[in-house]
């Protein structure tokens, strides 16, 4: 029996998604995904924007993937314009799981260079999944502008995204190895190393790259 409409089951499930106990919210998201109902799409998206627990957010994403793309896509694309960083990040993450390339035009340069690291990382991963044939070089060029950004986790995410694009990233990486910023040069060199040898490991590659950059002489630290 569908829960569409203000039935007792529908109201109970909505309340469970807002319960103070994360275990209750997790079970509620699982239930909604197990028995998809269009009436829950907006609530799932709304909850994703504020849910504090990772495992619950992941279940909310799964629940959304169980609903028709014709309903989830407009709601998620709207979230990409939200002022809330988590709303943008979770919407991007869910779009990557849905994998529908209709969403590609919404993956803008602004999102790929978003000031929030979580949003940017989600945008990078999503872009690699959704990029259509012929747009890879553009994407590689935009991603390369973010080399040297953030800490190890952010840099590793960017390197993985670039490597996932394949050899098309080589020109952008090569250009970045001559950047005036030492962090950019080191990150570019490390990503080049990983592109050639994926088994090298990011920590080894970045430390090796930093030694190479240090031997090159002084430059802007960034």
Q: Is residue 183 part of a domain?
A: yes
Report if residue 151 sits inside a domain: yes
| Within a domain: 189 | yes
pLDDT in tens, 73-113: 999 999 999 999 999 999 999 999 999 999 999 999 999 99
How much is the average pLDDT of 179-197?
A: 90
On whether residue 40 sits in a domain, the answer given is no
Residue 218 clears pLDDT 60, i.e. is over it: no
Q: Percent of the chain scored above 90 by pLDDT? A: 79
What pLDDT shows up at residue 50? Answer: 97
Distance CA 35, CA 113 (A): 37
In a domain, 115, yes or no: no
Q: Report yes or no on 181 lying in a domain.
A: yes
The count of structural domains within the chain is: 1
Does 88 map to a domain?
A: no
Rounded to whole angstroms, how far apart are CA atoms 148 and 150? Answer: 7
91-95, 176-180, 195-199: least confidently modelled range: 195-199
pLDDT, tens digit, 9 for 90 and up, residues 4-55? 445 777 888 889 999 999 999 999 999 999 999 999 999 999 999 999 999 9
Q: How much is the pTM?
A: 0.87
Give the C-alpha separation, 27 to 29, whole Å.
5
Residue 163 sits in which domain range? 136-222
Q: From start to end of 96-144, where are the E strands?
A: none
Cα–Cα dist 69/76, whole Å: 10
Q: Which residue has the tokens 């709601």?
A: 75
What gap in Å lies between CA 43 and CA 53, rounded to an integer? 16
Question: CA 3, 5, 6 angle in degrees (round to 5)?
Answer: 100
The single residue listed with the structure tokens 């950004």 is: 149
Does some domain include residue 35?
Answer: no
State the CB neighbour count (10 A cutoff) for residue 19: 13
Best CA proximity match to 172, nearest among 194, 188, 193:
188
């Amino acid at each position: 029996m569908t829960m569409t409409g203000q039935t007792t089951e529908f109201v109970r499930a909505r309340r469970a998604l807002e319960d103070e106990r994360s275990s209750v919210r997790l079970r509620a998201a699982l239930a909604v995904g197990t028995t998809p109902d269009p009436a829950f799409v907006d609530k799932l998206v709304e909850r994703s924007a504020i849910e504090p627990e990772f495992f619950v957010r992941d279940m909310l994403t799964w629940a959304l993937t169980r609903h028709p793309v014709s309903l989830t896509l407009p709601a998620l694309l709207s979230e990409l314009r939200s002022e809330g960083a988590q709303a943008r990040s979770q919407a991007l993450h869910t779009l990557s799981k849905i994998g529908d390339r209709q969403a590609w035009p919404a993956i803008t340069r602004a999102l790929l260079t978003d000031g929030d690291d979580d949003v940017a990382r989600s945008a990078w991963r999503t872009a690699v999944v959704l990029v259509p044939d012929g747009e890879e070089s553009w994407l590689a060029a935009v991603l390369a502008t973010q080399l040297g950004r953030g800490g190890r986790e952010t840099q590793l995410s960017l390197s993985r995204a670039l490597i996932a694009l394949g050899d098309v990233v080589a020109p952008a990486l090569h250009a970045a190895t001559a950047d005036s910023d030492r962090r950019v040069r080191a990150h570019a060199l490390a990503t080049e190393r990983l592109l050639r040898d994926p088994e090298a490991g990011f920590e080894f590659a970045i430390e090796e790259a930093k030694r190479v950059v240090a031997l090159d002489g002084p430059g802007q630290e960034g």
